[in-house]
Structures are given as structure tokens and as C-alpha cells.
Structure 1
Amino acid sequence: MMTTTDRPEPSRDEVAAVAALGEDYRRLRAEIGKVIIGQDHVIDELLTGFFARGHVLLVGVPGLAKTLLVSTVARILSLSFRRIQFTPDMMPSDITGTDILQDDPETGRRRFSFIAGPIFANIVLADEINRTPPKTQAALLEAMQERHVTAGGSSYPLPNPFFVLATQNPIEQEGTYPLPEAQLDRFMLNVTVPYPTAAEELEILRRTTGDETQETAVTLSAEQIVALQHLVRRVPVPEHVFIYARDLVRASRPNEPEASVMVRRCVSWGAGPRAGQSLILAAKARAVLQGRLHAGIADIRHVAKPVLRHRIVTTFHAEADGIDSDKVIEQLLQDIAAPPERAVERNSRL
């Protein structure tokens, strides 16, 4: 496997592209800040998932501006946006679209035409995904994975870029269909949305109860975003960072020799290989958004919770003791030592 020390010097275009992305990111954050008050870590993790080309699950109680945040990001990035409110009676075709029989005005004959569903947008907000039955959830998740929709024997590609943000309400469980662990694994990040601080809540009251509206400027086009997503994929990762991500994931599995006593007692299922891939990709995105030319151990540690929290299933005894997946991850970060760092060139090949 090629490490960063094996790569030649980056080109001037690549260095300039990383610097430009860092500047675009700062402008994007400034525009979002005109509308969204606080929630800095939520915005950072949402944009990390977006530029890493991964989908995000957003968990929080109602009224925390989750929908407003997503629609604001879509508007600032000049992308098409659709919101799907999931309900128990929703069918898969209500999301993906369906074939309907229409008259052909030229021939007078009838033919089937595909009517695209709301999933055909750059950014899709799947609101309260746990309120719809598994059959409809599966239709959405299949489209997320394959990035196309199949109807009537034909495949229809989804727009590029394509980003799904699904929300779950953690306080109302009656009449819901929680996503199985295998389907949760399709999401790169699981982001928790906390209540605002006292100062932030006061500013929310001041800013949102008047007649003024904040105007935001467009910062990036769809073509620029796709190019930046490819740039993130080319960010190099040193060998010791790959090893650290692997060790972190393997230590979360209770049957592995690397597992600690706490993991063996508190975890019934640990994270799979897709978690390691998500750790690396999210770390790459975080690094390049900050204008750096390679990802490091600090990036892995920073994204560990949103990447792993929905991929670690705790036992009944752990839940009874008040130990959730976040506490398990905190212990993993304390227990797993970073491997010896190899020499990393200051300018690494993207």
C-alpha cells in the first residue's frame, strides 16, 4: 500500500484547490451562520459528510432547526432540495417515482412514462424516517447505496451530487419503525443535535420573532461540489492512520482479541469494515476542509463518535448501567494507542 512518503510532490493546482476549498468552507460557514444560530459541531459534521460523499442521520428533538439547516445549505450551494415527510401509509413509489400510462400525442397510442419521485434532487431531507414501514425505508436506502432508481425494468440515475439527510425523533417511539442496525450502517455519520445554550437560545428569540429575513449568497455550484468531492477522495492518509482506524474499529467488537473488558461486557455487536472506511473518508474531508494536505490521527479521533455511535450495539446490562455507545467510544479512544507515526512530508501528494 502506498503511503504518503511514497508520493511525489503535489502539483500547484492541487495545493491551490485545497486552499480554495478551505476558503469556500469558511464562506459557507459564514453564510450558514446568518440563518442558523449555534450548532457548530452539527454544521461541521454535516458538511464533512457532504464533502465525503456520505449520507447523514440527524437525531434530535423537534424544533432544533434541522430542516432549516438542510434547506439553508441547499440554497447556499445552489442545489435542488426536496423534503419528504415520512408517514406510516407512505409507499416506496411515493419516494422513487412510478410508471404511469399516458397517451402519446404523436402516435395516439398509449405508453408508460416514468414520473420521477421527490428523491430526484441533489439534497433530500428524509424527515422522521422511522415513521414509515421497513418496505419504504428499504426503497430509500437502496437508492442511497446504488444512486439510481429502477422502475419498469429501466434504471434512472439520481442527480450528482446526491446527499440524503434523514432525521429521527428520539422522544416518540410509539407507532415508529426503528431502522435496523444493518440499515443504519448505510449512513456515514450519525449526528446528534443538542439543545442550544442559554445565550444561543436568547439570540434565537431575538432573531426569529421579527419581520426581517436573512439573505444568503450562493457560494458553490453543483459542478464545483462534485470536483471538490473527488478532491477529498485524493487526500493522502499515512499508513499509521490506516492502522489506527483499523485498530479502533476492531476493538469495538466483543469477540475480537483486541476488545477490552468493558467492550466484552457492554457491547453485543461492534462496528464492521464499513465503519473503518467511513472513518478514513470523514477524516479526509475534515482535513481538506481545514486546508490541510493529509489526514491525521486527530482527524480520526474527531470523527469517531458520529461514525461509530450507530454501529455499536450495547447490551441490556450496559443500558441498565447508563452506558451508551458514546461512552463506549470514549473508552475506546482512551484505550487504543496511536501507532508510531511515520515521517510525513509537509506537502503530500493528493
Structure 2
Amino acid sequence: MNDALSVASMLSSWRAAALDLETCIGQVVIGQTRAIRLMMISIFARGHVLLAGDVGVGKTTLLRAVARGIGGAYERVEGTVDMMPSDLLYHTYLADDGRPRVEPSAMLGKAEELSVLFFNEINRARPQVHSLLLRLMAEGNVAAFNRVYQFPYVQVFADRNRVEKEETFELPAAARDRFFMEIPVEAPTDVEVRRRLIFDSRYHDADALLASIETPALDYQTLVSAAPIIQKSVHTSKAIQDYVVRLWEATVRPDAAGIELASIDVERLVQGGASPRGFAFLVRAARVRAWFEGRDMLVPEDVRDVFVETMAHRIFLDPVYELRREQILRDLCAAVLTIVPAP
């Protein structure tokens, strides 16, 4: 009984701290309520995140605010077309004696305390770099200097350049599937929020805004142990389990589920990607969402609320439809949620 009370107390304390941090971030990055909540869900589910959005909408400020709130080390990497894996691992320079030196990169130097790695414009980097990043995301370590560097607390956040297509490399299926969510960060539509962002000088100085967030509001080391406790504390009924399985079936075989999309051959549309790992991630996200709502039981709305951001980026379409994937996947996910009855 005492153990149960202790766990309940920890869960309550973590939730209060998370909601406080969410409120603080919402005062720094205004007009992004949903994106902030999805970021918080990913943090407590220990999932890596793709950020999707146009230039100048606040993706970097949002991520810096999150990093400041959870503590630990922060490292930013800029994706470039000539980047090689060694650029993430080694730092070369000429010493005072004129001789070349090779030392561990800043990422390796911060390995054991690195909580946030931000890879900006990840699709500008070559597939070789994606492979190294995949190991880091999947196993939490990389090999360099004849040793293995461990990253026990790292979460990878990456931004894709979705405007320019020249000198970019599409993320391979394995790398996309390793990202827990793809979170859209769009320009606010509320007129008053737009007015404030344009004319209020407070929102023109990101560093000053970030200084308003207490450091840290959460403990990045504690998050690793909190995540499995949250997962175990939120229960799923047989009805919810059956519902998720039916969603999976409809996503894999939308034609068999009776889904129809305008000007789309639904029978050949989906080539793969709706995997067991993907739907396990969906349930992980839904459980954290339920915990944020103060419940210990999953309900259909928890699953539906995170379905698109958790599943769409890991569904792979027939090549003829890939150029229109964003709109098609939005329509497909909406159709799946409509046609599969919730319990």
C-alpha cells in the first residue's frame, strides 16, 4: 500500500511540474498550444521527434525552451550537403605548434549529460549521417576513438527543410520509423497572436524570453525512470486493445477497410510502415496523454488525439503518391479514424 501511495505521489508531482513547465513554455512560444503538449508527451514517453514547419515559426525557440526546462546539456547540429559522420564525432584543428589535432566533438564531450540533440535540417545531411544518427537513436551510443560513448539521457529532435528540395536527401524508412512523432509547428492563425508576434518587441528577443523559464523545471535524469512508471500506471481495457488493432488493420489495408479517397487507388496506396513498433509508440503516446489528463485508464480520445502525429510519418506510400504525401496522409488518417468505430 505504501509503495502504491508513493508511486501515486510521484506521478502527481511529476504531472504538476510538467503542467507548470507547459504553461511557462506557452508564455514564451505563443500560439503553439498543441505543439507544446505534443512535445511534453514525447518527453515523458522518451521518444525522438521530427519538427515540421516553415522557416521562422518558432521551432528552434520551442526546442530551446524545452531543453532549458528539462535541464542537462543541449547541442545543435546543422545539416549540410557535405556533412559526413566524422563531423559529428571528431573536431580537427591546428594546435599552437602548427600540428593538426583530432579531438572528440562537442556532442561526444557532452555524451553522459546530453539531454537534447537538435539536428537542424536533417534532410540536408547524407544517408551516411542518418545511419550514425539511427544508431544513436536506437541504441543510445556511438563508437569513436576505439571506445563506445554512451548517451543515457539523450532525445533527438530534428527539423526537416520541407521547402527547398535541391541538395536534400529523404530520410530512409528506418530513420523515419525511429522518430516517435512528427510534430507540426505552423504559423498561428489567431489574429491577435499574430499581432503580438509582429509588434511586441518582447517576442523579438528569444534569449530574454527563455530566461523567464526556471532552470530546470524538470530533472532530465529523472525522466528516464519516470517514463516506464507512467506507462505502467495507465491501464488499457480489452475494448481499447481491440480498437487499436482494428486501427492497425485499417491503416495497413485501407481498401479492405472500405476507405475511399478521391483520385487515389487505395488498393495500391500503402506500401508499408504501419508496423508493430509504430502502434506500440501510438499506445505509449496515448498513455502519456491520459496521464496528462489525470486519468489512469486509456480512452479512445487518447488514441485518436495522437494518431496523426504518431503514425503519418511512418506510413510509406506508393512512389506515385509520394509528392502529395502530406495531404494524402492527412486524408488517410482522418478516414481511418472515421471508419473504425470507437468503443
- After superposition, residues 156-175 of structure 1 pair within 5 angstroms as 156-158=149-151, 160-175=152-167
Q: TM-score of the superposition, structure 2-length normalised?
A: 0.84
Mapped to 2, the partners of 1:9 and 1:325 lie a distance apart of 47
1:301 equivalent in structure 2: 304
- Specify whether residues 259 and 281 from structure 1 end up closer, same or farther in structure 2 by C-alpha distance, changes over 3 A only: farther
Q: Verify: 1:328 aligned to 2:332, yes or no.
A: yes
Deviations 1:269-301 (A, max 9, x none): 351111111111101111112222222221110
Q: 1:279 aligns with which of 253, 277, 282?
A: 282
Deviations 1:120-158 (A, max 9, x none): 321011100000110011111211111011225432211
Moved more, 77-86 or 236-245: 236-245
1:229 equivalent in structure 2: 227
Q: What is the CA-CA distance between 1:10 and the residue it aligns to?
A: 8.2
Q: Verify: 1:146 aligned to 2:169, yes or no.
A: no
2:107 is aligned with what amino acid? Answer: P
1:187 equivalent in structure 2: 179
- After superposition, residues 183-222 of structure 1 pair within 5 angstroms as 183-197=175-189, 198-205=191-198, 206=200, 207-209=202-204, 213-214=208-209, 215-218=212-215, 219-222=217-220
Mapped to 1, the partners of 2:141 and 2:41 lie a distance apart of 23
Q: Matched residue of 1:161: which SS?
A: coil
Mapped to 1, the partners of 2:296 and 2:92 lie a distance apart of 47
Mapped to 2, the partners of 1:294 and 1:71 lie a distance apart of 32
2:98 equivalent in structure 1: none
1:76 equivalent in structure 2: 69
- Specify whether residues 153 and 244 from structure 1 end up closer, same or farther in structure 2 by C-alpha distance, changes over 3 A only: farther
Q: What is the CA-CA distance between 1:15 and the residue it aligns to?
A: 2.0
Size of the aligned set, in residue pairs, is: 321
Mapped to 2, the partners of 1:320 and 1:163 lie a distance apart of 29
Deviations 1:133-189 (A, max 9, x none): 10011111211111011225432211x321111001211111100112232111010
- After superposition, residues 45-194 of structure 1 pair within 5 angstroms as 45-97=38-90, 115-118=104-107, 120=111, 121-158=114-151, 160-194=152-186
1:305 is aligned with what amino acid? Answer: V
- Specify whether residues 317 and 217 from structure 1 end up closer, same or farther in structure 2 by C-alpha distance, changes over 3 A only: closer
Mapped to 2, the partners of 1:241 and 1:79 lie a distance apart of 37
Mapped to 2, the partners of 1:81 and 1:320 lie a distance apart of 35
Mapped to 2, the partners of 1:149 and 1:322 lie a distance apart of 33
Mapped to 2, the partners of 1:222 and 1:229 lie a distance apart of 11
Q: Matched residue of 1:27: which SS?
A: helix
Q: Percent identity?
A: 27
Mapped to 1, the partners of 2:42 and 2:61 lie a distance apart of 18
Mapped to 2, the partners of 1:257 and 1:273 lie a distance apart of 19
Q: What is the Cα-based RMSD across aligned positions, in Å?
A: 2.9
Q: Matched residue of 1:123: which SS?
A: strand
- Specify whether residues 210 and 265 from structure 1 end up closer, same or farther in structure 2 by C-alpha distance, changes over 3 A only: closer
Larger RCO (CA under 8 A, 6+ residues apart): 1
Q: Matched residue of 1:122: which SS?
A: strand
Give 1 or 2: higher helix fraction: 2
Q: Which runs of 5+ in 1 are unaligned?
A: 1-7, 103-111, 340-350
Are 1:314 and 1:324, in contact at CA under 8 Å, matched by a contact in 2? no
Runs of 4+ aligned residues of structure 1 deviating over 6 Å after TM superposition are 318-322
Are 2:46 and 2:227, in contact at CA under 8 Å, matched by a contact in 1? yes
Deviations 1:298-343 (A, max 9, x none): 111001000111122344369679951011000000011134xxxx
Q: Which runs of 5+ in 2 are unaligned?
A: 96-100
Mapped to 2, the partners of 1:317 and 1:70 lie a distance apart of 32
Mapped to 1, the partners of 2:326 and 2:54 lie a distance apart of 20
- Specify whether residues 211 and 276 from structure 1 end up closer, same or farther in structure 2 by C-alpha distance, changes over 3 A only: closer
Q: What is the CA-CA distance between 1:93 and the residue it aligns to?
A: 2.1
